[in-house]
Every structure is written in structure tokens, then in C-alpha cells.
Amino acid sequence: MKARRKAGLLRVDLSSAEAALLAGLLDELTAALTEPDPADPVIRRLYPDGYTDDPDAAREYRELVEADLRAERAGRLERCRTELPPGGGRMQLDAEATDRWLRVLNDLRLALGTRLGVTEEAELDEEHPAVQVYAWLTAVQDLLVTQVLP
């Protein structure tokens, strides 16, 4: 993947393998959010309790905001999925699209990191394919952030 800023846009070039990987990850997260299992650690990570010391307040908060948060997240995933060039190619992202992609990449990393048990203390097998995908997502997010910052 290559990215650079030009004329107010972030130009991101993806190989066909990178586009396919991102498409698969976006589809997996969309599926997980479509019919969420409240016991799924990924769902709990993406939608943490608003109140950790009061179960009733946490339930009320969840009832008030979770549907809206889920709709916003699903909308971002869908927009990114439609912007992804099939078979690879160039994406030209304005500031809003770049922000959306950074949020979605963060969600993908949180979901995968939760599945892998990523913590500061965790010792991960760097040869494991999912760990390599996690490292790649981290590098992609870093690349985009680096291009956004002046």
C-alpha cells in the first residue's frame, strides 16, 4: 500500500491482495454487527458499558445509545466498503473519507486484537496469519495518520 497527500486529497494505492483482504475484514465485521451476540468479546469491546460500577445505569445507557452507535458504525463500514476499489487500485479520500477510514481501521484492529487477545503483556506468535494481518492493519493505520498530520 502506498499513500500520499496531493491537492487536499489522500491518494491510497492498494494492490489486489490488499483490497481483497480489506474487503473480507469489512464484510466480517459488518456480519458481526448485523446480528450481534452480546456475549461476544468483540461486541463488548466495540460497545463498552457506559457505567462500570452501576449495572442498571449501564443497561439504561446501552438502551439509549447503542442502536445509534451501531447504525453509525455500520454506515461507516458500508461507505468504506463501497469506496474500496475491487481488484485494487486508487482511492482518493477527502478529509471526511480519511477520518471514516481511520475509524474503520481502528474498529478492525480492535475486533481482531480482541480475538487475538492483544494486550501490552501478550506475547503473540508473529508467524500466525491473524497476527500478521493485525500488524498490517496497524501499519496501514499508521501510514494514513502519518499522511494526514502536517
* Domain housing 7: 2-148
Q: Give the chain's residues under pLDDT 50.
A: none
pLDDT at residue 119 in the model: 85
Which pLDDT does position 62 carry in this prediction?
A: 83
What pLDDT score does 150 carry? 65
Report the predicted TM-score, pTM, of the whole model to 2 decimal places: 0.89
Q: What cell numbers appear for 19 in the block?
A: 483490497
Whole-angstrom CA distances from 21 to 8, 26, 33, 64, 69 are: 27, 9, 19, 34, 25
Question: How many independent structural domains does the chain possess?
Answer: 1
